[in-house]
Every structure is written in C-alpha cells, then in structure tokens.
C-alpha cells in the first residue's frame, strides 16, 4: 500500500505539538548551577598527604599528561642504633588537562588514594598553555570532592574492620582478670584475720 502523501509531515508536526505542551527543562546556566551526579568526571583533585611519589599514575596515563618531580630526604633513625631511611618528597604534581581524556585510569591505579574525581568543571582558560594545573590548584579541587556514599545496610563488613574487631575480642578474652589486693599492715605483711566471737567458758549451749 502506497503511503499517504503528507503523512511524514503530519507525524513530524505531531511530535512538535506534543513537545510544545510539555514543561521546559532548560537550565539558566550560569545563573543557575546544574545539579551534577555525584560521580561526575569534572576534574581531578590531589590529596597531597597520601601521595608517595610512586609514579604509578604517570606511568599508566595513556596520554602522558601527568608531570611529577620529587627528591629524596634522609629520615633519622627512630630508635638509638637504628638505621637511617630515605623517603621521596613531592616537589611537583601537575596535570595537563588539554591532553587529559578523563579516562580515570590514574585514579583507579593509585594505591594510596591520593587522586579523586571532583565535579568541578569551570576551569576553562583562554590560553591552552594555562590548562596545565599545578598541585596547589589540584589541592583546591580536592575540597570539592563529594563524600562517598553510605554503605548498603546489607553489605558485607569490610575486611579491615572485621580483622580489627576480631583482634580486639581476642585480646579482651586473653587478658587476666584483675585480682582484689589484700590489705596489709604497717610492716607490709598481710595481717591475720580477726578471730570471731567466742563463747564464754562453761557455756555448753
């Protein structure tokens, strides 16, 4: 059966009419800030205290847009006669967001939870060279990272918490019960217990 002439136009106008009767969903940005999902991949924040300069994020980055510089410092021995140790100190941590493709690999491979997704997205620049942000700016974005969602009430207890709880219960059961101290006299020895009342002589009852 041949299509009726003008049927396609009628269908298109019907869609237009249905859309015209619906409430608009346009958000007046920037006057009204968008309500972003909690897992929005806006920008990467750095929690500097957790970074150990392991370079794992820079090695795994497919775009090679993470730049890290560090130096070694000698830490004195914690106990007398102990051995001195060396540690890496972070000097520079920068991300070139003109190269970043927001894959999140650096966040996933970080073994010490030093990198997080922030929903911040207003960091455009007029010069592409200004899109390389240093660790101070990455640290500012860290405070915009939303809190993690609450655990499911029916979820399994984390292994770390379960191990700590079992250890505490084991220590509580193996500790000896406290004993009541015995009274002592002025010489430091235990005095003899006082004698009970005695019956008078000749009392047979």
> Residue 53: how many CB atoms within 10 A of its CB?
18
* H/E segment holding residue 160: helix 159-174
Q: What is the pLDDT of residue 18?
A: 87
CA distance 60 to 109: 8
CA distance 153 to 190: 57
Which residue's entry shows tokens 């047979």? Answer: 204
Each of the 205 residues of the chain gets a pLDDT tens digit; together they read 677 787 888 888 988 888 888 887 788 888 888 888 878 889 999 999 999 999 999 999 999 999 999 999 888 887 888 888 888 899 999 999 999 999 999 999 999 999 999 999 888 899 999 999 999 999 999 998 988 877 777 888 778 788 888 888 888 888 766 666 666 555 555 555 555 555 555 555 4
Residue in 64, 62, 126 with CA at minimum distance from that of residue 94: 64
CA distance 99 to 63: 6
Q: What is the pLDDT of residue 28?
A: 85
Three-state SS at 168:
helix
Distance of CA 84 to CAs 70, 72, 91, Å?
19, 13, 22
Q: What is the pLDDT of residue 205?
A: 46
* Phi, psi for residue 54 in degrees, rounded to 5: -80, -15
Q: What is the pLDDT of residue 196?
A: 53
What does pTM read for this prediction? 0.61
Q: What is the pLDDT of residue 85?
A: 85
């Amino acid at each position: 059966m041949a299509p009726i002439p003008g049927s396609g136009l009628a269908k298109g106008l019907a869609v237009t009419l249905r859309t015209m009767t619906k409430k608009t969903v346009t958000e007046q940005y920037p006057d009204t800030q968008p309500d972003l999902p909690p897992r929005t991949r806006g920008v990467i924040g750095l929690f500097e205290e957790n970074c150990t300069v392991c370079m794992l994020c820079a090695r795994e980055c497919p775009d090679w847009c993470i730049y890290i510089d560090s130096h070694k410092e000698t830490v004195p021995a914690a106990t007398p006669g102990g051995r001195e140790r060396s540690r890496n100190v972070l000097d520079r941590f920068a991300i070139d967001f003109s190269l970043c493709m927001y894959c999140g690999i650096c966040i996933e491979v970080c073994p010490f939870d030093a990198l997080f997704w922030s929903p911040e997205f207003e960091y455009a620049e007029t010069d592409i060279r200004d899109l390389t942000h240093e660790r101070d700016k990455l640290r500012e974005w860290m405070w915009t990272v939303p809190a993690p969602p609450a655990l499911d009430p029916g979820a399994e207890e984390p292994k770390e918490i379960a191990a700590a709880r079992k250890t505490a219960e084991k220590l509580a059961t193996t500790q000896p019960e406290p004993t009541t101290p015995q009274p002592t006299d002025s010489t430091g020895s235990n005095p003899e217990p006082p004698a009970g009342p005695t019956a008078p002589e000749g009392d047979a009852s």
